[in-house]
Structure 1
Amino acid sequence: MKKNARLLYLLTVWTFFTPFSSTATVFPADDETLPAASPSVTYVLSMPEPQTHYFEVEMQLKNIAASTNAKKNGYIDIKMPVWTPGSYLIREYAKNVDGFTASVGDKKISSEKIRKNAWRVYTNEDNLTIRYKVYANELTVRTSFVDIDHGYVTPAGVFMYHDALKNIPLRVVVQPYKTWKSVATALEPVAGQDFTYEAADFDLLVDSPIEIGNHKTFSFTASDIPHTVSMFGDVDYNEKRLAEDYKRVCEAAATVVGEHPCKHYTFIVHHIPPGGGGLEHLNSTTLETTRNAYATEANYKRFLSLVAHEYFHLWNVKRIRPVALGPFDYENENYTHMLWLSEGCTSFYQEYILRRAGFHTPDAYLTLVASGITEIENQPGTRIQSAAESSWDAWIKGYRPNENSANTQISYYSKGSVLGTLLNLAILAGSSGQRNMDDLMRLLYNEYYKKQKRGFTDNEFRQAAEQVAGRKLDDFFNIGVNTAEPINYDAYFAPVGMQLVNLASKVQDGFLGAATTIANGKSTISSVRRGSAAYNDGLNVGDEIISVDKVRVGDDLLRVISGRKMGETLKVLVNRGGFVREIPVTLTQNPLVSYRLEPLPNQTAEQKALYNKWLYIK
């Protein structure tokens, strides 16, 4: 009662002295305490001198002492991620950080670097400001860049974090260079505040790249979801056609799962001389392509394949995912055996989506399938490394190829794309055409992303695939995925009335197996194929081939050895490290294949029906 009486008195007095106030402040009683203010993190990103390739970051932390144990420890640790999700390599982003300082108000406080990517700030204060610069001069979808023309932010390489604050809402204030007018990002804008954005947590911030400059923008709606495309670089394109074709690709992709999880979606497209691929994010993607991407129909279709690939990732990887792919450990490798599914089957879907959207004819799609098989079967590493091993070793091998990689590795993209085709066929055959790979994607999406809100294990994926196929898939998993043994392709294609035919001539020139680069009229060996004549008889990477059988090679090795047959021995004169030596090399049979898919003779009605379902032929 005393508490209520005192509160009534305070309210009466406060109202008396503030008659025009629309709200009243209620003070706590003597035995009550004010709730602690919530911690907050705001990043202010600026680029006042873009020609120097530096971003400047101010990280404002407020009300953090309790959450970070700063009062207990007397310090807090601030970290920079060492990699970015979707690109499986430790990239050491901290190497680009300069001038790290910390202050409380106007007072600079002590800090030191304690690990390659971590700084310790000695404070027990509630409010703290961190400032640093990031050198950004590598324009890829995995790194950051700024120059006088534009800025691009890969958030993992620009924004730091504290472990205890990773799951709180964050705010980003972008201060564009003085002549820049536009910012593109999937982050949610803060109403009434220019270039101010918010994210639910650090994971979402990392998953939301930012383009800053004077890029061109167009929009379209697909599956009732607004989409924005921001285009950097001087390039000619038909905006109406491009928007329509984006829409066709996006809507065809959405039919796989049948539900679109985004409120909006952003494409950031860089048109730069070398191109460069793409990187997926939760509600956006960044694409890098050449400036002539729209100049020919072939280039245009390749670009649409890139669009389909990265867009389909908003389901496969960002939501349908192995357990290792989220939540992320930003300081260490995140291992999985299933990048063949996450990346490779997305490569499968990119062309399958274009087929169902009408960009590929059935024959064109079959050509792509056969070419994919030809690619992996012509790589010696396909008999050394399994798709599961390729996925696991992405961190040390996939992004670090050398002259021997083709002999020992297989790409989880290319092998996974072929496996996606085979799994799709296995499900079609096992269900008598009632189900296909789409049904597996829907099952994984609904069960693990929506219901259990987590990724799946290797075994859970296999169980789901076998459930949808209606049968065991031992050959697919035990041979196709987990070993490097030869795959019986015809067992997968026979149910749809097709067979794989090798068109490579059996009467060919002998095979040397040494690839060369040409410079200053000289042929230098750049790679040697496992099991070839060059490999067996000792030609080495780095050897300059001077002559063959006393005939000067110059820059045309192929002309000199053309017409020589298997079993013939060549006398190859090489310069190796400044020493000239002659090496006898006996040519082997050409091992290269060239596959085409052809109809089986006397196809049954069931095979024809299944073929039509496979290729969406009505």
Structure 2
Amino acid sequence: MKPIRYSIVPKQPAAHLFEVTVTVTDPDPSGQRFMLPVWIPGSYMVREFARNIVTLRAFNEAGRKVRVEKTDKHTWQAAPVSGALTLRYEVYAWDLSVRAAHLDDTTGFFNGTSVFLAAVGHEDAPCLVDIQKPAGPAYRSWRVATALPEARGTRRYGFGEYSAQNYDELVDHPVTLGEFALTTFKAHGVPHDIVIAGRVVALDMARLAADLKRICEAQIALFEPKSKKAPVERYVFMTQAVSDGYGGLEHRASTALICNRTDLPVEGRPQTTEGYRTYLGLCSHEYFHTWNVKRIKPAAFAPYDLTRENYTSLLWLFEGFTSYYDDLILVRSGLIKPEEYFSLLGKVVGGVLRGSGRLKQTVAESSFDSWIKYYRQDENAPNAVVSYYTKGSLVALAFDLSIRAQTGNRKSLDDVMRLLWQRFGRDFYRGKPVGVTENEVEALFAEATGAELGALFEQAVRSTRDLPLDTLLEPFGISLAPEADRNARPSLGARLRGGADCTLAAVHDGSAAQKAGLSAGDVLVAIDGLRVTGANLDALLSRYLPGAKVEVHAFRRDELRTAQVKLDGPEVSRYTLAVTDKRTAARNWRERWLAG
């Protein structure tokens, strides 16, 4: 098939406008259709990227205008032409996230799903994209960061032409434009680039490269313990450093990340801050997706249909298991200590058990409904939704511990991931793509480990019962218990919205606040006649004992209400994992688990 040619230029950075062209040499004789995706893989919500297309015109190869009309929310059809057909359009880019596109006079970023129209019927054709520099001396030092292969003599990090084998590959490589810090390291011989855009003072790139190298090599060795062969020829970590932000999105040979600039390591300060540890965990999570979801995929994603929702009940396996391994890899690679890992696990356990949504929705149901529930959470989400990320990570922990216990630590969840990789992921982009179906997962676990896991599948995946983590941790000499509140401070059983006002963001099922008739959105103004704010609520409550009755005044909209509240006991925000058996057998089991 003849290549589809694209060009993209930051036409008006101050107005946040990219100008994009797409040229089809052999358009459909009956009239070529073009489509922009409605969602981006890895973020399971319909986002309607077409709403950001401001103007769109079509031209024949002589430069004359061609009639083009919109046939639905994200599809355009041009009138029949002889010869090549070109669409020229503007895209408004003012979404500072990892999901869409952003442009101003300091930096640019885009995902292909937000800017590149697909020529319908030509999705398998090779693509060439000319990434152009914005005009003017202010942009003289701008560069390009992307994992897309360079074409026609384009120099790496330079403006020019890049290539992709098809549309799916084209839109699976985000692009950063502008000035950025850059370094490269090799993980088992494969170059990995680190790109940091945004202002960061005294950034310790050498430490960041050394730490990410350990993460990447640990993950490569997990999936390919003999060959140590990475699934990519080159990988790019691209991060936008901002004042307040967090997130990541995986791609087949790169990841787009956003973080607080204060989370990045500082030259001359060797300590690992909580923010830096969180950032490393995010990098670990997105890199693990290089195998798990970018190549090992649920059948519903093989291939993606970018015109509508793609339903699967397996996100607990693809996102939840990735969430399990992201921090586990940090301890396996020596970047955090076991006790730090146990603390992170305890926080996840507390977060999952705090929400009553876990008693109403299974992780399989949460996966299937991600399009309408997880990514569209409202004030009732804690009471109705369970996260396939956090509970999914605990499901992975339960399977790992159970497999190890049944097999005397000879097998583990690692063996499951390797079988999935060998059968579904290793050759995904080399032949006909095949994904994992819901019906075969349980048999694959049994084949990989020889363990009897049917009862655990029923409890962990298909029911809303809590996981037996305390029992599963016993052979490893670890206890699991609620972390005691030293202050024994009572609670309302509600979560606050950020800000100076004491505004309830969510009210938990059966809580003191709910029983008293308080609701999300209510603004608390006084407790027993004393003014309450978001900053002093805990201090006021600490004066009472659990079970005490207090009078709460609150505004709902513009109406003042009075509620009599009987305070709940202290909330359990996290659980403690403690080593209680230091004998050799239990110690060996712990070491095998944490070392991999």
**Which runs of 5 or more structure 1 residues have no equivalent in the other structure?**
1-37
Percentage identity across paired residues of the two chains:
33
Amino acid at match of 2:203: Y
- Give how far 1:527 is off: 2.1
Work out whether residues 35 and 117 of structure 2, in 8 Å CA contact, stay in contact via their aligned partners in 1. yes
Work out whether residues 54 and 133 of structure 1, in 8 Å CA contact, stay in contact via their aligned partners in 2. yes
**Which runs of 5 or more structure 2 residues have no equivalent in the other structure?**
none
Q: Report the equivalent of 2:183.
A: 218
Q: How does 1:569-588 map to 2 (within 5 A)?
A: 569-588=549-568
- The question of 1:488 aligning with 2:465 is answered no
- Give how far 1:351 is off: 1.0
Q: Report the equivalent of 1:191.
A: 152
Residues 197-232 of structure 1 show CA distances to partners (whole Å, capped at 9, x for unaligned) of: 110000001101111223232111111111122221
- With over 3 angstroms needed to count, the CA separation of the structure-2 counterparts of 1:574 and 1:361, relative to structure 1, is closer
Work out whether residues 548 and 571 of structure 1, in 8 Å CA contact, stay in contact via their aligned partners in 2. yes
**Which whole-Å CA distance do the structure 2 matches of 1:581 and 1:278 have between them?**
42
DSSP 3-state at the match of 1:394: coil
- With over 3 angstroms needed to count, the CA separation of the structure-2 counterparts of 1:514 and 1:227, relative to structure 1, is closer
TM-score in terms of structure 2 length = 0.91
- The question of 1:357 aligning with 2:333 is answered yes
- With over 3 angstroms needed to count, the CA separation of the structure-2 counterparts of 1:505 and 1:546, relative to structure 1, is closer
**Which whole-Å CA distance do the structure 2 matches of 1:245 and 1:562 have between them?**
42
Match of 2:512 among 533, 548, 554: 533
DSSP 3-state at the match of 1:164: coil
Residues 126-184 of structure 1 show CA distances to partners (whole Å, capped at 9, x for unaligned) of: 31011100000112110101111121111001000122100111100111113244111
- Give how far 1:506 is off: 10
**Which whole-Å CA distance do the structure 2 matches of 1:506 and 1:361 have between them?**
25
Residues 501-547 of structure 1 show CA distances to partners (whole Å, capped at 9, x for unaligned) of: 22325994543223345766x53333211111111221122323333
Q: Report the equivalent of 2:215.
A: 249
Q: Report the equivalent of 1:401.
A: 377
Work out whether residues 395 and 467 of structure 2, in 8 Å CA contact, stay in contact via their aligned partners in 1. no
Q: Report the equivalent of 2:105.
A: 148
Match of 2:362 among 372, 386, 407: 386
DSSP 3-state at the match of 2:520: coil
Amino acid at match of 1:512: L
Amino acid at match of 1:260: A
Q: Report the equivalent of 2:318.
A: 342
TM-score in terms of structure 1 length = 0.88
Amino acid at match of 2:222: V
**Which whole-Å CA distance do the structure 2 matches of 1:359 and 1:182 have between them?**
32
Match of 2:302 among 296, 302, 326: 326
- With over 3 angstroms needed to count, the CA separation of the structure-2 counterparts of 1:572 and 1:238, relative to structure 1, is closer
Quick check: 343-352 or 178-187, which moved more?
A: 178-187
- Give how far 1:312 is off: 1.1
Match of 1:504 among 484, 502, 517: 484
DSSP 3-state at the match of 2:374: coil
Q: Report the equivalent of 2:121.
A: 164
- The question of 1:58 aligning with 2:21 is answered yes
**Which whole-Å CA distance do the structure 1 matches of 2:58 and 2:453 have between them?**
57
Work out whether residues 426 and 469 of structure 1, in 8 Å CA contact, stay in contact via their aligned partners in 2. no
**Which whole-Å CA distance do the structure 2 matches of 1:369 and 1:425 have between them?**
14
Work out whether residues 78 and 162 of structure 1, in 8 Å CA contact, stay in contact via their aligned partners in 2. yes
- The question of 1:285 aligning with 2:250 is answered no
Q: How does 1:65-464 map to 2 (within 5 A)?
A: 68=28, 70=29, 74-104=30-60, 105-178=62-135, 179-180=139-140, 181-193=142-154, 195-235=160-200, 236-258=202-224, 259-292=229-262, 293-295=264-266, 297-298=272-273, 299-450=275-426, 453-464=433-444
- With over 3 angstroms needed to count, the CA separation of the structure-2 counterparts of 1:486 and 1:111, relative to structure 1, is same
**Which whole-Å CA distance do the structure 1 matches of 2:188 and 2:84 have between them?**
45
Amino acid at match of 2:425: Y
DSSP 3-state at the match of 1:134: strand
- With over 3 angstroms needed to count, the CA separation of the structure-2 counterparts of 1:300 and 1:565, relative to structure 1, is closer
Higher Rg: 1
- Give how far 1:475 is off: 3.4
Work out whether residues 40 and 63 of structure 1, in 8 Å CA contact, stay in contact via their aligned partners in 2. no
Work out whether residues 430 and 469 of structure 1, in 8 Å CA contact, stay in contact via their aligned partners in 2. no
Q: Report the equivalent of 2:572.
A: 592
Amino acid at match of 2:371: W
**Which whole-Å CA distance do the structure 1 matches of 2:558 and 2:232 have between them?**
61
Amino acid at match of 1:297: T
**Which whole-Å CA distance do the structure 1 matches of 2:190 and 2:126 have between them?**
24
- The question of 1:567 aligning with 2:547 is answered yes
Work out whether residues 504 and 593 of structure 1, in 8 Å CA contact, stay in contact via their aligned partners in 2. no
Quick check: 50-59 or 212-221, which moved more?
A: 212-221
DSSP 3-state at the match of 2:11: coil
